[in-house]
């Protein structure tokens, strides 16, 4: 048994935010019916061809789902969607602003027809306000939320290397839907959820928001270093590798001086007595640390840090992470079937005792058309005609 066994999710979804949310619902046992455009499908299917000819984004976000193609502008397709929603528990969509209303499936219509339904809409900037109609892609939302202004080097602002605005919105859609399912179990009524990428990422901007508004100063971009804690970030070693470390309090600072730098007198140096002092004298302290670390290999530095119980990390590549010994030791990889053969996929990060997440196949476009339409009560001849007419 999985927590969401028996729950059906109908998803008018594309790209990242909504598919990321519904994949996690599917991993908990929900049946996710992914509605895609005939012949074309979710446009994320075509971002690249790196995973055995498939898109890396699509492979990441779409295992354990069923694919149904519908031209939702056609009356017959709307009839099919009606049939699905009448039996569904959750409806999620991330179409452009106003698109779902123009199709005749606006919030008020859905609430009246399907009082049991949990309705979740994901947009770039929200359902009202001056940015309602503005197109929203991940990089652009990172810019609007101020994230790019605090990321990068001192000279060059930079985007985050993964789709954090999409991921944030998908995570809040996922947790919101789970909360709504709990609420419905008590009230018997569905809920309406709205998530904007801007507001989801804005929640993650909490530290720089408070720091800026109440100090009057924007956090400085420091590359991979921390803006307000030092030492906290990357340091080069003698074998031309990079080691990251983090000092969080004065006890750790003393241990760092004693066991890592092997210069215990530094812990009594007034220039470095508190984090604020260390930050103010950062350039001097960096020179002291560099003088020690450049005489050691990365392995020797890490050994000293481990002995002193100072938090540290290697600068891994993405390939290093794929091969990470911790993931292997914890058996975090599973094989997922795809139309192009099996691929490896990470288990979801929440481990539930006695529950094996659903790691089902990634569907081919329209793979489940006939199965789903027959379940809805349509006969094979009608389905054939709809296929010829481009309805499905």
Whose tokens are 């935010």? That residue is: 17
Pick from 140, 157, 161, 284: which is nearest to 208 by CA? Answer: 157
Residue 318 CB burial class (10 angstroms; 0-12, 13-18, ≥19): exposed
pTM score of the predicted model: 0.90
pLDDT at 177: 98
Name residues whose C-beta falls within 8 Å of residue 263's C-beta, 6 or more positions apart in sequence: 257, 288, 292
**181-229, pLDDT tens digit by residue?**
999 999 999 999 999 999 999 999 999 999 899 999 888 888 888 878 9
As a three-state string, the secondary structure of the chain is CCCCCCCEEEEECCCCHHHHHHHHHHHCCCEEEEEECCCCCCHHHHCCCCECCECHHHHHHCCCEEEEECCCCCHHHHHHHHHHHHHCCEEEECCCCCHHHHCCCCHHHHHHHCCCCEEEEEECCCCCCCCCCCCCCHHHHHHHCCCHHHCECCCCECCCCCCHHHHHHHHHHHHHHHHHHHHHHHHCCCCEEEEEHHHHHHHHCHHHHHHHHHHCCCCCCCCCCCCCCCCEEEEECCCCCEEEEECCCHHHHHHHHHHHCCCHHHHHCHHHCCHHHHHHCHHHHHHHHHHHHCCCCHHHHHHHHHHCCCEEEECCCHHHHHCCHHHHHCCCEEEECCCCCCEEEECCCCCCCCCCCCCCCCCCCCCCHHHHHHHCCCCHHHHHHHHHHCCC
- Per the DSSP assignment, residues forming a β-bridge with 353 are none
Pick 227 or 58 by higher pLDDT: 58
CB atoms within 10 A of CB 238: 14
pLDDT at 223: 85
pLDDT at 98: 84
C-alpha–C-alpha distance, residues 326 and 153, integer Å: 30
Residue range 377-384: average pLDDT? 94
36-42-46 Cα angle (round to 5):
145
Residue range 156-172: average pLDDT? 95
pLDDT at 222: 83
Whether residue 246 is predicted with pLDDT greater than 90 in this model: the reply is yes
C-alpha–C-alpha distance, residues 272 and 277, integer Å: 5
pLDDT at 162: 94
Q: Chain-centre distance of CA 227, in angstroms? A: 24
Residue range 91-110: average pLDDT? 90
pLDDT at 135: 87
Residue range 334-340: average pLDDT? 96
CB atoms within 10 A of CB 105: 21
Q: Are 293 and 236 in contact (CB under 8 A)?
A: yes
- The average confidence (pLDDT) of the chain is 94
Residue range 307-335: average pLDDT? 95
Q: Are 228 and 279 in contact (CB under 8 A)?
A: yes
Q: Chain-centre distance of CA 55, in angstroms? A: 17
pLDDT at 21: 98
Whether residue 96 is predicted with pLDDT greater than 90 in this model: the reply is no
Residue range 358-373: average pLDDT? 96
Whether residue 289 is predicted with pLDDT greater than 90 in this model: the reply is yes
Q: Are 362 and 62 in contact (CB under 8 A)?
A: yes
């Amino acid at each position: 048994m999985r927590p969401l066994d028996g729950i059906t999710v109908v998803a008018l979804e594309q790209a990242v935010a909504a598919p990321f949310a519904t994949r996690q619902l599917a991993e908990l046992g929900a049946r996710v019916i992914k509605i895609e455009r005939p012949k074309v499908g979710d446009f994320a299917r075509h971002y690249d061809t790196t995973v055995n000819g498939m898109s890396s984004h699509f492979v990441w976000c779409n295992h354990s789902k069923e694919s149904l193609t519908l031209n939702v502008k056609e009356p017959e397709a709307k009839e099919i969607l009606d049939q699905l929603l009448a039996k569904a528990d959750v409806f999620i969509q991330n179409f452009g602003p106003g698109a779902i209303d123009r199709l005749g499936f606006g919030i008020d219509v859905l609430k009246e027809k399907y009082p049991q339904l949990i309705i979740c809409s994901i947009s770039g900037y929200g359902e009202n306000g001056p940015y309602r109609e503005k197109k929203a892609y991940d990089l652009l939302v990172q810019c609007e939320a101020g994230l790019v202004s605090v990321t990068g080097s001192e000279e060059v602002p930079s985007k985050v290397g993964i789709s954090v605005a999409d991921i944030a919105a998908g995570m809040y859609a996922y947790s919101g839907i789970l909360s709504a399912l709990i609420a419905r179990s008590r009230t018997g009524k569905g809920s309406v959820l709205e998530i904007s990428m801007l507001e989801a990422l804005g929640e993650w901007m909490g530290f720089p928001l408070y720091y800026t508004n109440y100090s009057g100063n924007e956090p400085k971009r420091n590359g991979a270093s921390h803006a307000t804690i030092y030492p906290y970030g990357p340091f080069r070693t003698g074998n031309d590798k990079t080691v990251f470390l983090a000092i969080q309090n004065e006890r750790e600072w003393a241990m760092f001086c004693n066991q890592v730098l092997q210069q215990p007198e530094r812990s009594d140096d007034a220039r470095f007595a508190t984090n604020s002092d260390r930050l103010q004298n950062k350039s001097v302290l960096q020179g002291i640390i560099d003088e020690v670390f450049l005489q050691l290999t990365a392995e020797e530095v890490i050994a000293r840090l481990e002995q002193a119980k100072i938090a540290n990390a290697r600068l891994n590549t993405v390939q290093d992470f794929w091969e990470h010994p911790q993931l292997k030791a914890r058996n975090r990889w599973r094989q997922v079937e795809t139309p192009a053969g099996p691929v490896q996929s990470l288990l979801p990060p929440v481990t539930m005792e006695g529950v094996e997440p659903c790691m089902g196949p990634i569907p081919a476009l329209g793979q489940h058309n006939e199965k789903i339409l027959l379940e809805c009560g349509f006969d094979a001849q009608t389905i054939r005609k709809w296929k010829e007419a481009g309805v499905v």
